Amino acid sequence: MSQVKRVVSVATSLIVIRRALKVSAVVGSTLNLINQSGALFGDASIDWARLCLNFLVPYSVATYSAVGALLETADAPPSQLPSELERREAA
């Protein structure tokens, strides 16, 4: 399987999508509260492009990070993998 197909396959896997959506919901909401507080609590207008980007960027970063970690772990020899305890603490 080519590297591009592997990346797309992992990036579209349910576990990566769920995790990225959770990160995006928390970080995107926080960024929108910070960046658009005038529109949300005052009389300024909502910047819809910025609102969307505040969710898209964290989703992209979380997906990129998860895909990189999963592919790196899949390619690593067993001696370089974290122990089960470290995996549980990191989750």
- Note the pTM of the prediction, 2 decimals: 0.79
Q: Establish if 89 belongs to a structural domain.
A: no
Q: Establish if 82 belongs to a structural domain.
A: no
Query: How confident is the model at residue 78, as a pLDDT?
Result: 64
Domain containing 50 equals 21-73
Mean pLDDT of 17-38: 96
Mean pLDDT of 74-86: 62
Mean pLDDT of 22-47: 93
Q: Are 23 and 60 in contact (CB under 8 A)?
A: no
* Mean pLDDT over each residue of the chain, to the nearest integer: 87
Q: What is the number of structural domains in the chain?
A: 1
Q: Establish if 7 belongs to a structural domain.
A: no
Q: Establish if 63 belongs to a structural domain.
A: yes
The pLDDT confidence band at residue 31, using thresholds 50, 70 and 90, is very high
The pLDDT confidence band at residue 85, using thresholds 50, 70 and 90, is very low
Q: Establish if 53 belongs to a structural domain.
A: yes
Q: Establish if 60 belongs to a structural domain.
A: yes
The pLDDT confidence band at residue 40, using thresholds 50, 70 and 90, is confident
3-state secondary structure 12-40: CCHHHHHHHHHHHHHHHHHHHHHHCHHHH
